[in-house]
Amino acid sequence: MSGDPAILRPYGDTTGDGMVQLSFTLPMPHSKIAEGAAAQLAAKMGMDPAMVVHAKAMGPQHTFFVVYGAVSHLVDVSSVRVVEHDYPLLSPKEINLAVRKGLRRRLTVIGGCIGTDAHTVGIDAILNIKGFAGEKGLEYYRELRVVNLGAQISVPHLVARAQAEKADAVLVSQVVTQRDTHLLNIKEMSAAFREAYPADRRPLLIVGGPRFDEAMADSLGVDRVFARGTTPGLVASYLVDELVTRRLAGNDPDRRSA
Amino acid sequence: MSPARSRPRPAQPSAALPLDAVTVRKARSLARQAGRPIVRLAQQHTTVSVERATLRLAGLGGADPDGTPWVNHLVDAVRADTGIEDGVALPVWDSLTRGDAADLEELARKAAVGSVRFRIPSGRETTRVRSAARKAVGVGVRRIDARRRERERLIRRWGDAPRTPWIYLIVATGDIYEDMPQAQAAAREGADVIAVIRSTGQSLLDYVPEGATREGFAGTYATQENFRLMRAALDETSAELGRYVRLTNYASGLCMPEIASLAGLERLDMMLNDSMYGILFRDINPVRTFVDQRFSRQVHARAGIIINTGEDNYLTTADAVEAAHTVTVSQLLNEYFAKEAGLADWQLGLGHAFEINPDVPDSFRLELAHALLARQLFPHAPLKWMPPTRHMTGDVFRGYLLDGFFNLVGAMTGQGILLVGMMTEAVVTPWLSDRDLALQNVRYVMNACGNLHEDFRPTPDGFIATRANQVLSEGIELLQQIIDHDRGLLDAIADGTFGLMKRPADGGRGLDGVARKADGYYNPASELLEATT
């Protein structure tokens, strides 16, 4: 860190000028008052002097502004704290490559909604090639083999299919949460997998749904919980980290190397 | 009366590219060869959704308190007793004419609790039952006809979109009561077409939700009531603006026939309806999709609805240069299936998109070549031109420039429908200011060079012309490969010829809702709709 100043100001074209640009909309018709209001907001945000360089009516009730100005705030880099993911986010290309090199076969993922839950929206967002939030689903990854069982899968059926397909990972989605059915279903599922597999051969168990808390994994007996807003890329990166990277690093032999 | 006014005037079919007429004819003939066995397959089968759509046309709507539609209850009950091989019309109207219930809803309620038994009528009874069914379903079909005439009348009264391309904007809040004012605002800002994005995954529901909905996942459910509410809101704004603002929704999925029927009944103007989207991107059974698609397109044809096909999806999942010819092949297949189902050229909003990686050298020239190829292959179709999504990042400034180039290609190649690109694509759902800036972008380009196509002629043996011909010939090769499969398109879809997913004809969702028609199959809706074709 020596040599890097810990205290910074934004840079326009001169060190220390503190220049930033900002755009926003105020819900009021365009007028001199509106421009003054924009300048006031910019001042409250720490811009001094603030120049309202552009103001344009958008319909009768809204005005759009572009403001340039110097901010008085300083940034203390030494006090910045960030939460890092405990696994690296990889691109589809990197994921395919990691599986091909690390596993030397395709990684099998099976998924479904268990119990009476018929809401496949979550599992489909993660598995279907159509994907979610601009990211393609796991089907899109060449080195992942995806078996989507759909809705209302019984736990014994899920276990049997996982065994038949030699699944590396099992993804279960639960949307319905009446009377905590989602928690009961998952506990039943994880217990069934523990019973059906020796501990070192059990597939990775992953659950997801809008009402899960990511800290619940241990109490549910699963390896990972994904909450609202999870994208397919996050899940794929996690799979690679857990089933390829860590296993190679730990010299953990492929569980089905035979 | 000028029916042409209700149609997007397809831009000047400029013969800019030196395409060989024989090659173009060959491409169409191969698409026909690939598509014909699929049409036969569609004619030989029915699905639960086709049967439910038939009941909807006869006026059966609504749902039980748990939200299961009455059409689902009734079709399931009939299926349990007689199967759907003969169609549900015979057993349903047999039951009604024998006095089991006063109307369809009462019959559905009774069927739901198992207090009626269905049978296939025989002999002379059949004639009476058929005629009762035809009369009931005819009411719905005539209502669709009336809605179409109403659209033409309103366009005459209020006026049409002032120019092409029509400007197509999206709303998607999940709450229909939020969507309405947003759609009205977008129309006032200059949108000619409003699309209400559906809730994620609705295409996989084997029923159509009921009523006005206020919650959705990244979109709003397509329901009959939501259709009605939004059309009424846009009618109000159309009258105020003095131009008819069109409304779009999505048919693709497990309920294509039903959603198409509801769209016709509620005077929607455009529908997303792709022949293979459900199969490739949603793992819906291929047979189910093709049967549902044909019926739904017959309904759209009757309703005067413009379909939008989904070729953009090919380019968001595969490289837009390598996969360019898959777009052409899909357009040719979509055209064949659409025309077979009775749609006219002016109803074919064939899709394509600006998705080439901007770092690729000559990416703009490649885009221009692809867009010109589509324009020239389908000179009388409106064509739906879709903006960059895949290479839009959080860098909104660069995104704004990309959208400008996208608009430029649209202007230079005379696209009929232009989906407006947002610089905040992949960042947030569009803000008011994003939409305003995006429309300024479109207006600037159209104003600055909307007539550029008059001057623009690519050099006959230059980069653009060569590229367009190359894509066409790759498309012809792919069509040839499809036909060379034993069972043609079905096998090609099964073995991953489209480069995406392997989708076998006996796999995927919704297969259990497909039945091969018996000799005595009767469906008054098909009978009436086939007569249109």
What is the DSSP annotation of A30-97? Answer: -SHHHHHHHHHHHHHTTEEEEEEEEEEEETTTEEEEEEEEEE---EEGGG---PPPSS----HHHHHH
Which residues, in sequence order, are bridge partners of residue B348?
B307
Active site residues of A: 130
CATH superfamily of domain region A92-248: Cobalamin-binding domain (3.40.50.280)
Q: What is the mean pLDDT of residues B418-428?
A: 89
Evaluate whether B284 touches B206 at the Cβ level (below 8 Å): no
> What is the Cβ-side half-sphere exposure of residue B434, based on CA atoms within 13 angstroms?
19
First-to-last alpha carbon distance for chain B, in angstroms, is: 23
Which residues does chain A have within 8 Å of residue B182's beta carbon, measured at their own beta carbons?
none
Paired tokens of B381: 């179709």
Read off the pLDDT of residues B108-141 as tens digits, 9 standing for 90 and up: 999 999 999 999 999 899 999 999 999 999 999 9
Inter-residue contact B37 to B31 (CB < 8 Å) = no
Q: Which residue of B has its CA nearest to A128?
A: B282
Residue B214 pLDDT > 50: yes
B384 an active-site residue?
Answer: yes
B354-370: per-residue pLDDT in tens? Answer: 999 999 999 999 999 99
Is B312 an active-site residue? yes
pLDDT digits (tens, 9 = 90+) for B139-172: 999 999 999 999 999 999 999 999 999 999 998 8
Compute the C-alpha angle B257/B263/B266, nearest 5°: 140
d(CA B495, CA B501): 8
In our burial notation (b when 16+ CB lie closer than 10 A, e otherwise), range A103-138 reads beebbbbbbbbbbebebbbbbbbbbbbbbbeebbbb
Which comes out higher in pLDDT, residue B215 or B408? B408
Decide if B201 and A140 are in contact by the 8 Å CB cutoff: no
Task: Quote the CA–CA distance of B255 and B232 in Å, as a whole number.
Answer: 24
Check residue B1 and give its pLDDT: 35
- Report the residue of B72, B184, B200 to disrupt the A interface, i.e. the one with the largest count of A CBs within 10 Å: B200
Give me the total of CB pairs closer than 8 Å, taking one residue from chain A and one from chain B.
58
Eight-state DSSP code of residue B83: -
Phi, psi of B247 (to 5 degrees): -120, 135
Complex ipTM above 0.85?
Answer: no
- Cβ-in-10-Å burial (0-12, 13-18, 19+) of B251 comes to buried
Collect all residues with Cβ–Cβ distance below 8 Å to B86 and sequence separation of at least 6: B120, B517, B518, B520, B521, B522
Q: Return residues 25-44 of A near B (CB < 8 Å).
A: 25
Selected residue of B198, B204, B427 to mutate for chain A interface (largest A Cβ count, 10 A): B204
Q: Which of B244, B384, B400, B434 is catalytic?
A: B384
**Dist. CA B171–CA B197, nearest whole Å:** 6
Q: Do B200 and A121 touch (CB under 8 A)?
A: yes
Per-residue pLDDT, B8: 60
Give the minimum alpha-carbon distance from B189 to chain A in angstroms, rounded to a whole number: 7
Q: Which residue of A has its CA nearest to B429?
A: A133
CB contact under 8 A, B389 and A134: yes
If you count them, how many residues does chain A have? Answer: 258
Least Cα separation, residue A64 to chain B (angstroms): 7
Residues in chain A where the model's pLDDT stays below 50: 1-2, 252-258
pLDDT at A84: 60
Just give the CATH number of A7-78: 3.30.30.60
pLDDT at B533: 55
> Cβ contact (<8 Å) for A129 and B204?
no
Nearest in space to A94 (alpha carbons), one of A253, A239, A248, A256: A239
Ranges A131-140, B211-220, B255-264: which has the least confidence: A131-140
Q: Which residue of B has its CA nearest to A58?
A: B436
Within an 8 Å CB–CB cutoff, is residue A226 touching chain B? no
Q: Helix, strand, or coil here: B29? A: helix
> Of chain A residues 105-144, which have a CB less than 8 A from chain B?
120-121, 124-125, 128-130, 132-134, 136, 139-140
Q: Which residue in B429, B433, B181, B183 sits closest to A25, CA to CA?
A: B433
Identify which of A25, A121, A128 has the shortest CB distance to residue B281. Answer: A128
H or E stretch covering B51: helix B48-57
DSSP label of A225: E
CA distance B493 to B278: 12
| Helix or strand (DSSP H, E) at B47 | strand B45-47
The two most distant CA atoms of chain A are separated, in Å, by: 77
Average pLDDT value for chain B:
93
Contact (CB<8Å) A134/B436: no
- Residue with more model confidence, B335 or B432: B335
pLDDT value, residue B13: 47
| Cα gap B27→B33, rounded to integer Å | 10
pLDDT (0 to 100) of residue B496: 79
Q: How far is A222 from chain B (nearest CA, A)?
A: 26
**Helix B124-158 vs helix B89-97: crossing angle, to nearest 10:** 110
B201–A148 C-beta distance less than 8 A: no
Please give the Cα distance from B461 to B466 (Å, whole number).
6
Q: How far apart are the C-alpha atoms of A131 and A125, rounded to whole Å? A: 5
pLDDT single digits (tens) B470-488: 999 999 999 999 999 999 9
pLDDT in tens, A124-165: 889 988 777 778 899 999 999 999 887 778 899 999 999 999
**In this complex, which of A58, A134, A139 lies closest to B436 when CB atoms are compared?**
A58
Cα dihedral sign, B368-B370-B374-B376: positive
- Contact, B254 vs B509, CB < 8 A? yes
Please indicate whether residue A4 or residue B451 has the higher confidence score (pLDDT): B451
- Min Cα distance A146 → chain B (Å) is 11
Catalytic residue of the set B168, B221, B250, B277: B277
**The pLDDT value given to residue B3:** 39
User: With contacts defined as CB-CB under 8 Å, which chain A residues touch B282?
Assistant: 124, 128, 130
**Which pLDDT belongs to residue B301?**
98
What confidence score (pLDDT) does residue B256 get? 97
Contacts of A132 in chain B (CB under 8 A): 200, 218
Q: Which of A130, A140, A141, A144 to probe the B interface (max B CBs under 10 A)?
A: A130
> Cβ separation of B433 and A64 shorter than 8 Å?
yes
| Helical axes B363-377 vs B463-484, angle rounded to 10° | 60
Give, in order, the Cα–Cα distances in Å from B389 to each of A30, B357, B392, B400: 32, 10, 5, 12
The domain spans of chain A are 7-78, 92-248
Tokens of B404: 């400008």
Q: Between β-strands A47-58 and A62-71, what pairing exists: parallel, antiparallel or unpaired?
A: antiparallel
Confidence of residue B238 (pLDDT cuts 50, 70, 90): very high
- Identify all chain A residues contacting B427, using CB atoms and an 8 Å cutoff: none
